[in-house]
Structure 1
Amino acid sequence: MRDLSDDDDDRLAARRRVIGDRIRDERLRQNQTQEALYLAAGIARYTLQRAEAGADVQVSTLQRIAAALDIQLTDLVR
């Protein structure tokens, strides 16, 4: 097993931002507000805001968001 470097941390952070952008883009494409999405997903507003901002969120949270958007989780994380 190898230790993650600062470069790896930067790549992971960039990847999370891409996922957050995909969530926001799909939400807007569907003409949904953040409120409609976080209520449909059964998560807190703050959690959705963090996910869209590219913060570290749990896979189960991403699954809830994907389900509420009626898309596959793989569409968010590809």
Structure 2
Amino acid sequence: MQQPDDDQWLAERSRVIGDRIREHRDRLHYSQEYLYLAAGISRDVLQRIEAGRHNPTLYTLLRIARALDTPLADLVR
């Protein structure tokens, strides 16, 4: 079986993670402002993560998961 191009695969995974964060945020009726403040990150970083255009650190993902009160695994599975 042929493996997908790494860059393409990583870009797709980033979009999926961003989509899951946005879905959790929307389900909780949290605004982006609420989430970035609760997670202690910048607005720009959250927007780029949700758009799949940012490579967040593990700490950033953990902060977001904690602010959403959801396991990190639910965001990155």
TM (norm. structure 1) is 0.89
Displacement of 1:71 in angstroms is: 0.3
Deviations 1:25-74 (A, max 9, x none): 10000000000000100111011111101121111111000000000001
Q: Number of aligned residue pairs: give it.
A: 74
Paired residue for 1:59?
Answer: 58
Q: Distance in 1 between matches of 2:57 and 2:4?
A: 22
Paired residue for 1:68?
Answer: 67
Q: Distance in 1 between matches of 2:76 and 2:50?
A: 13
Q: Distance in 2 between matches of 1:75 and 1:13?
A: 18
RMSD, aligned CA: 1.4
The list of structure 1 runs, each at least 4 consecutive aligned residues, that deviate by more than 4 angstroms after superposition, is: none
Q: Distance in 2 between matches of 1:64 and 1:15?
A: 19
Displacement of 1:12 in angstroms is: 0.7
- Verify: 1:23 aligned to 2:21, yes or no: yes
Displacement of 1:17 in angstroms is: 0.3
Paired residue for 1:9?
Answer: 7
Q: Distance in 2 between matches of 1:60 and 1:28?
A: 22
